[in-house]
Amino acid sequence: MAPRSHVYSINEENGFLWFGTACGAVRYNQVNADITVFGEEEGLKGNYVFDVEFDDQGQVFAATNVGIYCLKNGQWEQFVSSDSLPSHYITCITRKADGAMWFGTAQGICVFDRGKWKKYTIDNSGIASHFINELKFDAQGHLWIGGRHCLTEHFDDRWINYGFATSYPVLDLVMKDELVIMTTPLGVHIKDGNRWTTLEQTSGLSSKNVKAIALSLTNIFSLAGSWD
The pTM assigned to this predicted structure is 0.82
Instruction: Provide the β-strand partners of residue 146.
Output: 134, 151
Q: Which pLDDT value is given to residue 208?
A: 53
Domain 7-170 = CATH 3.30.1050.10: no
Rounded CA separation 166/144 (Å): 15
Biggest alpha carbon–alpha carbon distance for the chain: 50
Q: Which pLDDT value is given to residue 52?
A: 92
Phi-psi region of 177 (alpha: psi -120 to 50; beta: other; left: phi over 0): left
- Each residue's pLDDT expressed in tens, for the chain with a length of 228 residues: 445 567 788 888 888 888 888 889 999 998 899 999 999 989 998 789 999 999 988 899 999 999 999 998 888 999 987 677 889 999 999 999 999 999 999 999 999 998 899 999 999 999 888 899 999 998 889 999 988 877 899 999 999 987 654 467 887 888 877 788 877 777 787 878 778 777 755 554 544 555 566 655 544 454 544 444
Rounded CA separation 13/18 (Å): 8
Instruction: Give domain limits for the chain.
Output: 7-170, 171-228
